[in-house]
Structure 1
């Protein structure tokens, strides 16, 4: 993509922004915006100096097992560029919020902003801005969490992919690097994804909030996505799992007793355990059917059900607590008259990020479907054939989308009560 500003349409560093629209190329139509962005390194230095002792003490307990990406960390430079770039990108939607219904161009637009030493691209910016608004997310809060106000956090990932994972400093947002073909798949499915969330506001699907590219100098572009963290608020979470409903490569060596490492365990680690959901179980089984059927229609597989557990306090076990408020929240959204019950309504706990929270009699469960970008194409067909020969009689992740959806739903049914 030619990201250089064209004469007469982009200010080469003044206070006024200009836009150049070009024909679609690569991942979408290009919109180039040249800005005078502050140095990301300076922004990181400023945020570090502003954090005092009280700030550190306040967050110490909730960050056990997480690692600040500070100076000297191998990902510190990348983090600073992401923070500075995202601050400027979100400012565009704050200055010029999209109005009216979304159109095809809103889903294919690419905004490229030139910074000192790097450029950041924002993919389908108007569409994601609308999506964030529909979720009740305030752009100023989103910008503050992802900008240079504090370091991103890193945890020890048990994923077999080569992706890099980040949490915003307040742990509300999750950032993950993606391959180009994965980003293309997500963008292709974005209109259907937003329509599904509109029809089913309590869907278990992870809430995607943005997609971006980052290129340093003339190097190769890196792509990353931003989504709401399933595990939020994380302060009292005791166990975390990544479930695919199979057994091959689905074991993680647990952290030593007393260790502060935050590990996400897998299917085989969950053997012999169940989730006690009480009245919420029927809702979960139905919502799993709705969401996996949607992913099956998109020909998607290899997604995971993330789960985490948190013991309830005595006041949280009271079924009558905040019932009126919880019922009002559950009724939000517009029911499609042509699809009675499509929202699959439920009572939402009076807690942050409640869409991905279920309260059982004794435990609070954090649940969400993530990694929605793997399409069952020729590559996966061949991988399925190879694994069939390599692991006879065993279950593995690479199967048809129909089989994958059915198997994961059966796993949830078997492991809940």
Structure 2
């Protein structure tokens, strides 16, 4: 990914772009600002890096639209053989820019968008209640680039980036080749798990892609759920909780403006203030999620927590929501004492009948919780779920224990079984309020 800010790459990229498109007539240049800006060699590397990032996003938005339209899911005919029948679908430049470019007399295939296991991701979106039309509204190119200049990108040292859709529902993020392979290999298992665990706190992936540029440089991207999608308010506090304690904050006074880690949370809050029956439900589901990740040899995941105040309007909305969730023959006291997801999920939930009581089907980005004193709202979800306990992690653990003399129980790199146990100990500490010495 270092090519994102490499001037030599951009020089070659623009040269190849001109060679690849000599006979192409752009129908409306203003509709393709990314292609226009990429052809401007007077830009400095930073501007070109931004242009390339935008170009990648343009290809991604075009490809997502094609993928959704090309992979409808019949809910009555979903089976494994159908879902894995298409490992990847390649869209060429002609497919991506059919409306913008006149490509009738050219056979160039310099730009490619690879859509991995599209049917599985379409089935996962269906499980989460996402209709194709509603999903595509979040990826409307016009709306997306209208707000793009005001979008605050999070960029990694290697040139990777992530950004949110305009409606804040989804996240587009660059991923590594290893993470992309893991998604392709394990996504059918995630589908099976989500099918039987609708209330899972695991991050949901809705697409995995590869964008190939003219000089054959490429980047992997994924579309995933946003844990904080259910609110338009600014999150006041954010915490990333792994269960480990070495290099996990706590050395300085936490100002609540940056992302807090395990020890910051313990020093500032100690626990989340939740009703007892809610705690039981959450701990049980987190246990199931952690066991599933362990079965896939995955570790290094964490619980992302967001906190903001519950305003008077929100409190009234929550009370109305709970009232609407009650079945006709259920009293308020009976409803409030039922340890089901009905009092945990947001107002966008749908209702269905199960075992003679009403249960809300958790919406996408499930995890909106009201504190026991009704003064705060918490948002939680398990993120960073694509790290296998592979050779590099085993090597990291070995070096930290035997060369830097770190405590093996406190470092993040740990075998999946031990990682799960330590993670759940911390969950019981901050959610179940069972404290460990």
Counterpart for residue 14 of structure 2: none
Structure 1 residue 401 displacement after superposition: 0.4
Structure 1 residue 354 displacement after superposition: 6.0
Q: 1:350 aligns with which of 321, 325, 346?
A: 346
The Cα offsets for residues 120-161 of structure 1, whole Å up to 9 and x where unpaired, read as 11111111112112211122232232232223433446x788
Aligned residues: 340
Return closer, same or farther for 1:114/1:354 CA change in 2, 3 Å cut-off. Answer: closer
Structure 1 residue 41 displacement after superposition: 7.3
Structure 1 residue 92 displacement after superposition: 4.2
How far apart, CA to CA, are the structure 2 residues paired with 1:199 and 1:39? 48
Return closer, same or farther for 1:119/1:344 CA change in 2, 3 Å cut-off. Answer: farther
Matched, 1:374 2:374: no
Three-state SS of the structure 2 residue aligned to 1:375 is: coil
Structure 2: any 5+ residue segments left out of the alignment?
A: 1-23, 35-45, 98-109, 328-338, 349-363
How far apart, CA to CA, are the structure 2 residues paired with 1:317 and 1:241? 24
Larger radius of gyration: 2
Q: 2:126 aligns with which of 133, 139, 153?
A: 133
Q: 1:93 aligns with which of 68, 71, 96?
A: 68
The Cα offsets for residues 75-129 of structure 1, whole Å up to 9 and x where unpaired, read as 3432333234433442343255133224346335211111266211111111111
How far apart, CA to CA, are the structure 1 residues paired with 2:27 and 2:54? 13
Return closer, same or farther for 1:173/1:126 CA change in 2, 3 Å cut-off. Answer: same
CA contact (8 A) 1:326 1:349 kept: no
Q: 1:118 aligns with which of 111, 117, 122?
A: 111
Q: 2:138 aligns with which of 128, 136, 145?
A: 145
The Cα offsets for residues 372-414 of structure 1, whole Å up to 9 and x where unpaired, read as 1111122222221111122423611100101111111111211
Q: 2:195 aligns with which of 194, 198, 214?
A: 198
Matched, 1:359 2:375: no
RMSD after superposition: 3.3
How far apart, CA to CA, are the structure 1 residues paired with 2:384 and 2:309? 27
Return closer, same or farther for 1:301/1:161 CA change in 2, 3 Å cut-off. Answer: farther
How far apart, CA to CA, are the structure 2 residues paired with 1:200 and 1:144? 27
CA contact (8 A) 1:255 1:263 kept: no
Return closer, same or farther for 1:178/1:88 CA change in 2, 3 Å cut-off. Answer: closer
Q: Which has the higher helix share?
A: 2
Counterpart for residue 419 of structure 2: 404
How far apart, CA to CA, are the structure 2 residues paired with 1:223 and 1:354? 23
- TM-score, structure 2 as length reference: 0.69
CA contact (8 A) 1:98 1:129 kept: yes
Counterpart for residue 304 of structure 1: 302
